[in-house]
Structure 1
């Protein structure tokens, strides 16, 4: 009886997979969506399109979907434990959304695959879409909408991607690739770089750089299988209208932080005899930097974001500066607190040089705190 049940179940599963098989008229495509103007869209997006005119199937499969209604959404997002999933929509709906609502270019690469390869990809997607399989822990650099599709294509066409020959996609770190897609002088750029730790500065090889949709598109264009180009046709589904260029932002990080640094130098020199004024200034400054330091330390040590671990920025934004500022900002004539400030300045200065080399903006962020630590250390009076 047990054998008959297993046989029946196997026949049922085989029948289900047969119904899910694609016809010889089908095609599988990589669809790359250009970066948008909102933070969530800065890096672009990528989809697998499965089209079968024989059955009327035209689906766009997307990894990286999440639900705002998830319990404790913000806490899970902050800790890196928010579940992401595979989803699909009709391609017509996807095209309408990105073209009409987000004004983002969509490019399609139709893949030259055999019937067996197309069915392998389709069935892998369908299996991944099952409730018990569709959720996974998203990793921006390592496991995202593009890397999952890269792996699916590599499994369907083994050896198609000549990674060792794709020199165009080598030589940059994960952080460097990320910064190519961020506004040069924006708070979000400075903040994201401040939050990243040393793992983000590892040089990414060609395969790893395909965490970015544009790079996966480039790699797929160079791929070949059985002496035939993997891409048999490239199409532009929608060409976006250019967005107006943004001008100089007087409230951006560069003007704000540099102005603040100049003001701190002036006040430190001009009112060095008015300890009360400078004490209040130090309380405010080290409170802000201390709170940011606590956040960075939390991200580096208490979350599942591996790329935020070993963060040198913690040596600039010492979380313990607040509330210790109430003591070290008032007692700098000698003794323990003067030694504390001098050590803090030297450590922060070295750390700012290291982080500034990784991203120049991190040195700019460090300037205000370095200036006050320098004057509190009394190095200038020697």
Structure 2
């Protein structure tokens, strides 16, 4: 069964209420009979699996029934799904499955499974169970997904925090995170280099703010690690770890994401320098190649800028708003396509084209100065290093035609 078919089947079961009897023991058990665990699944091979996944497991210690609750279901067949995705208005759902079925899927995919048994009181366990079952109702199941602040892991985290009376948030907000949203995204997507570069280019300053451990726990593995630092009352005036024990239920059989994000400054800087050298050499020796190479760069720069502008003005993807890379790549590049194509025959640029070129060089200088100013948040050094030599090479060759 494909992933899409599996998701649709799950959705149908939820909406029809056909699966309610499957956890009758869980719904009727007393809090003292419930055991609560956090289940963490390692990253998968497909790009949407790279961030990992998790679930809350409720186990009836009397009947042995185990049910996994997770917030990671989406439906490709939803009306306007791809349009909503482009607009940043994605709809996800909570799901509940028998633990063995859920874990079997991830074992077959070769993804790791870790189980952390949590120290909840009977009242807290019962409250968590009641909230999850309430959330599972069709009228409550759907939520507006956000990559960083409202996803399948933050929903799991918030449900546990709610049951524990805010203890998790109180603890994790006092701890600094290890990376920013950008660094975590680049690190986890590094196995798909082109997608990693597209995401890094499209992220604005929102992705570079320092995070607390609470914010960084948008990732399953980060939540798994940070919960080890949380303590709760032991009921006798003392404190005990929230995580009572931790077991690796299935090892990882896939490539492991790097511990740190790759440094994109050197590869992108070298790529920009190489492209600039090729543009200059082609201008001297192969005018048609020069025109094709330059127009390819301008076309990509204009398209990237147009997409970044649309993300900022027409979508709810707030992590892409106010992107300083618009100073490097923007729709102004389209206005230089024809002048550069004509330059292969030594035709000088028009006054309008010179004005556009000057405006772009001013924007390039602004991007550089903005980055050097203290207190600037967005970390786009790699793209500055890539764009700077390319724009200078294009400007120099066009101006040389005018001088000729």
Aligned position for 1:335: 351
Match of 2:213, SS state, is coil
Matched, 1:344 2:352: no
Corresponding residue to 2:158 among 140, 151, 156: 151
- Give the superposition deviation at 1:288: 2.5
Q: 1:31 aligns with which of 25, 29, 39?
A: 39
Cα distance, 1:307 vs structure 2: 0.7
Matching of residues 112-127 of structure 1 within 5 Å: 112-127=119-134
Q: 1:307 to 1:245 in 2, by over 3 A?
A: closer
Do 2:187 and 2:257's aligned partners in 1 also have CA atoms closer than 8 Å? no
**How far apart, in 1, do the equivalents of 2:191 and 2:379 lie?**
14
Shift of 1:276: 5.8
State how far apart, in whole Å, the 1-side matches of 2:257 and 2:87 are: 35
The answer on whether the counterparts of 2:68 and 2:96 sit within 8 Å (CA) in structure 1 is yes
Query: What residue is the counterpart of 2:229 in the other structure?
Result: 222
For residues 32-181 of structure 1, the aligned pairs below 5 Å read 32-100=40-108, 102-161=109-168, 162-167=171-176, 169=177, 172-181=179-188
Provide Cα deviations, 1:208-261, integer angstroms capped at 9, x if missing partner.
111111111122111111112111111111112354999xxxxx9987995675
CA distance in 2, matches of 1:19, 1:99: 24
Count of aligned residue pairs for this structure pair: 358
Counterparts of 2:269 and 2:220 in 1: how far apart (Å)?
33
Q: Say yes or no: does 1:310 pair with 2:322.
A: yes
Task: Supply the distance in 2 between the matched residues of 1:18 and 1:96 (Cα, whole angstroms).
Answer: 22
RMSD (Å), alpha carbons: 3.4
Select 1:200's aligned residue among 207, 231, 248: 207
- Aligned pair partner of 2:333 in 317, 321, 339: 321
Deviation at 1:70, TM superposition (A): 1.2
Contact 1:86 1:135 in 2 (8 A): yes
Q: Distance in 1 between matches of 2:103 and 2:26?
A: 27
Q: Deviations over 1:178-208 (max 9, x none)?
A: 2332317811111101111111112111211
3-state SS in 2 of match to 1:207 = helix
Q: When the two structures are superposed, what TM-score results if normalisation uses the length of structure 2?
A: 0.78
1:366 corresponding residue in structure 2: 387
- Deviation string 1:256-309 (CA, Å, 9 cap, x unpaired) is 995675254244245348766534443333123222222222122211111111
1:307-352 deviations in whole A, cap 9, x for unaligned?
1111112222112321452247657557342232122023135436
Judge conservation of contact 1:329–1:376 (CA < 8 Å) in 2.
no
Aligned to 1:288: 300
Gaps of 5+ in 1: 1-16, 247-251
Note if contact 2:291-2:340 (Cα within 8 Å) is conserved in structure 1.
Answer: no
Distance 1:284 1:26 in 2: 61
Pair 1:20–1:85, CA change in 2 (3 A)? same
Report Cα offsets for 1:152-171 as digits up to 9, x if no partner: 1111112533225534x35x
Kindly indicate whether the alpha-carbon contact (under 8 Å) linking 1:110 and 1:231 is maintained by their aligned counterparts in 2: yes
CA offset digits 1:22-69 (Å, max 9, x no partner):
332321111111112221111111111111143453111111310011
Query: 1:199, 1:253 → 2: CA distance?
Result: 20
